[in-house]
Structure 1
Amino acid sequence: MFLIPSHLLFFSTLVFGTMMAVSSSSWFTAWMGLELNLLSFIPLISSETNQFSSEASLKYFLTQALASAMILLASSAMMAGVMFSYFLLSIALLIKMGAAPFHMWFPMVAEGVGWMQFIILSTIQKVAPMALLSHTTDSSYWMILLVASTSAAVGAVGGINQLMLRKLMAYSSIGHTAWMLSAMLISESLWAVYFGIYCITSSTISLFFFYKQAYHLNHLISSNFQNTPQSCIMFMSLLSLGGLPPFTGFIPKWITIQELSSSSYLFLTFFLITGTLINLYYYLRLALGSFMMSSTMLGWQFLQENKVSWTVVLLIFLNLAGLLVSPVIFLTG
């Protein structure tokens, strides 16, 4: 995707817009950064080879434009001293990041984009809204608490009956958003650590599906996945994404659970752990499908060769580093 000069230009402006929004000193410049980010992501979604890209672009634009208008209204209300301004601002930022119950657009847009665009949608596009939302935690405490509990439930239940891999990963992203919002209630550094590890684990699975050109659950039981080492790699990466110990994805969840418990967020912790257990159920369904089903049942043909790049190998190494780090933390703790 980034070999095309226009895509490289739009990706650069997308990153610049994110940095502008995060480092801004006023809500107006933050709004400008979010708008630059939005207008840069629309061309990256559009693709002549994907018949659903136009629909996904329109849905994304309308949703983000609504949220941007709410940010402008909220910032104007702040200057006038209106009490509900922070409430409206928090709703707008939650819409932009796709947190439940404002999540309806997120799985639909994810279904209409490619895997590389999905990685941007589920990682980079969440940075600016979450960073800005962290400045409003004092005034929108109860809203973040409620949205985190709702996102954990929606992310868990929504992915159970999904057969399309991009929608399943979208609901997984909503579930992880609940953990990031919960970590935000504790400290910004904890949120940053969780978000960084989530980017690694989610990108590993998405890149793996990209190189295999897998978009449906049935693709995982095709002959292209009947490679035992690669199936093991996908299996362990999915377990890491689900937060099963002692993989890398478990470390930020472990720290978050400890901090939430010590801060008396027991009800929220219960929702998060329950949602994670349900997430692990459909992660295991993905992994076991590639192990146990015969390759002669379905004859899907893939567009690329049976290869995995060194980028995926590096991400997988980081994904499984928790196997070495977790015992050290346990022994020194």
Structure 2
Amino acid sequence: MKINSTIILFYLNMLLGVVLSLSSNNWVMVWMGLEISLMSFIPLMIGDLIISSECAMKYFIIQSMSSSILILGLMLMLMNSKLNFNLIISLSMMIKMGMAPFHTWILSLIEGLSYMMLFNLFTLMKIVPMMITMNMNNNLNYLIMFSLILGSVFGITQNSIRKILSYSSIFNMGFLVYSLSNFSLWFTYFSLYSINLFMFVLILKNNNINYLNQFMINSFDMKFKLCIWALMLSSGGMPPMMGFWAKFIIIELSINMSDWLISMTMIFTSLLTMFYYNRMCYISMCISSLMTKWSMVYLSWLSLNVMVINIIIMPFVIMSKYLN
């Protein structure tokens, strides 16, 4: 997708919709901001692939259905109905975000999206639904545990990089939704996840990597392998990488709140997520490589920046915790 004035216009409108929803004090403007973001994101989804038009139509239908459920919940709220309108609004936001068990629509359209649109779908388009969910004050512990388990278990069996990132996003949705009770921790986790995902997506896009076996077939140099290795360890949550500190602060929050079942679920599912990212590390670093692993003399600027960002983020995370 080439950058031109039309693309810039759609991106600005998408950001405008997000800002409008976040800064509004009535539900009509919140809904309007969601629709502006939706109608600006759909043209950006359409790319060179034939399947991208089908993916855009699927996304439009799902988002329209979730917006209809949102309007139903708002009508029940205005009518002072005895029905639990908070739960209906939260349900519509779960569908809009693609949180388990309402995640199957994401898996059916990600293969037709470019990596940058995948990044926007997993980060920018989930900010407003999460803020609405935070204001509903519902107990979503069962959905959180279901997302953690499903995202970690089903990611092990995938060969497509896009599906691995999708299941990883579903897994991280459990952490993000749980941290909504503490906005500063939610913002810290969301920022670290977005930075890590952006670096990962940028490298995959620049090298046109779509499947795991490309790590074995293609002859990447050691600079690239070291860079992708650091990002995979960070995505899996290996200390002292950036991804570990993001998960650590949320697990500490769950322990402080005495949610032991969710704490244990987070810890065990994080180990499963670390397993399939470590498997990607093993494939990229060890299989079909003719270079000795200690002959890494020179680093490219990208791999050096990735390693520095991942490692030096620790003092900033600790500082942000104590500033709370």
1:141-165 Cα deviation digits (max 9, x unpaired): 2xx2111111001100121111110
Aligned-partner Cα distance in 2 for 1:253–1:66: 32
Query: In the alignment, is residue 22 of structure 1 matched against residue 22 of structure 2?
Result: yes
**CA-atom RMSD, angstroms?**
2.3
Question: In structure 2, what is the equivalent of residue 109 of structure 1?
Answer: 109
1:276–1:34 Cα change, 3 Å:
same
% same residue? 29
Among 161, 169, 175, the alignment partner of 2:171 is 175
Among 212, 215, 220, the alignment partner of 2:210 is 215
Aligned-partner Cα distance in 1 for 2:16–2:317: 35
Question: In structure 2, what is the equivalent of residue 279 of structure 1?
Answer: 273
Query: In the alignment, is residue 251 of structure 1 matched against residue 220 of structure 2?
Result: no
Question: In structure 2, what is the equivalent of residue 71 of structure 1?
Answer: 70
Question: In structure 2, what is the equivalent of residue 161 of structure 1?
Answer: 157
1:245-268 Cα deviation digits (max 9, x unpaired): 111111122111112101111101
Is the Cα–Cα contact under 8 Å of residues 204 and 316 in structure 1 kept in the other structure? no
Is the Cα–Cα contact under 8 Å of residues 200 and 315 in structure 1 kept in the other structure? no
Is the Cα–Cα contact under 8 Å of residues 69 and 89 in structure 2 kept in the other structure? yes
Among 189, 192, 198, the alignment partner of 1:194 is 189
Aligned-pair CA distance for 1:317 = 3.5
Deviating runs (4+, > 3 A) in structure 1?
A: 308-317, 322-330
Please tell me the residue identity of whatever aligns with 1:165.
I
Query: In the alignment, is residue 40 of structure 1 matched against residue 31 of structure 2?
Result: no
Aligned-partner Cα distance in 1 for 2:114–2:133: 28
Question: In structure 2, what is the equivalent of residue 302 of structure 1?
Answer: none
Aligned-pair CA distance for 1:239 = 1.1
Q: 3-state DSSP class of the match of 2:53?
A: helix
1:329–1:88 Cα change, 3 Å:
closer
Q: 3-state DSSP class of the match of 1:147?
A: helix
Please tell me the residue identity of whatever aligns with 1:99.
M
Please tell me the residue identity of whatever aligns with 1:145.
N
Please tell me the residue identity of whatever aligns with 1:167.
K
Q: TM-score, normalised by structure 1?
A: 0.88
Q: 3-state DSSP class of the match of 1:159?
A: helix
Question: In structure 1, what is the equivalent of residue 258 of structure 2?
Answer: 264
Question: In structure 1, what is the equivalent of residue 201 of structure 2?
Answer: 206
Aligned-pair CA distance for 1:92 = 0.4
Is the Cα–Cα contact under 8 Å of residues 151 and 178 in structure 1 kept in the other structure? yes
Aligned-pair CA distance for 1:184 = 1.2
1:313–1:34 Cα change, 3 Å:
farther
Q: 3-state DSSP class of the match of 1:19?
A: helix
Among 214, 228, 233, the alignment partner of 1:234 is 228
Query: In the alignment, is residue 145 of structure 1 matched against residue 141 of structure 2?
Result: yes
Aligned-partner Cα distance in 1 for 2:111–2:63: 17
Among 268, 284, 287, the alignment partner of 1:293 is 287
Aligned-pair CA distance for 1:20 = 0.9
1:88-131 Cα deviation digits (max 9, x unpaired): 10000011111101111112222210111111111111111111
Aligned-partner Cα distance in 1 for 2:224–2:300: 12
Question: In structure 1, what is the equivalent of residue 136 of structure 2?
Answer: 136
Please tell me the residue identity of whatever aligns with 1:75.
L
Is the Cα–Cα contact under 8 Å of residues 200 and 319 in structure 1 kept in the other structure? no
Aligned-pair CA distance for 1:314 = 4.6
1:182–1:277 Cα change, 3 Å:
same
Is the Cα–Cα contact under 8 Å of residues 160 and 211 in structure 2 kept in the other structure? yes
1:92–1:313 Cα change, 3 Å:
farther
Aligned length: 312
1:29–1:316 Cα change, 3 Å:
farther
Q: TM-score, normalised by structure 2?
A: 0.90
Aligned-partner Cα distance in 2 for 1:190–1:245: 19
Aligned-partner Cα distance in 1 for 2:246–2:274: 16
Aligned-partner Cα distance in 2 for 1:264–1:290: 40
Is the Cα–Cα contact under 8 Å of residues 148 and 171 in structure 2 kept in the other structure? yes
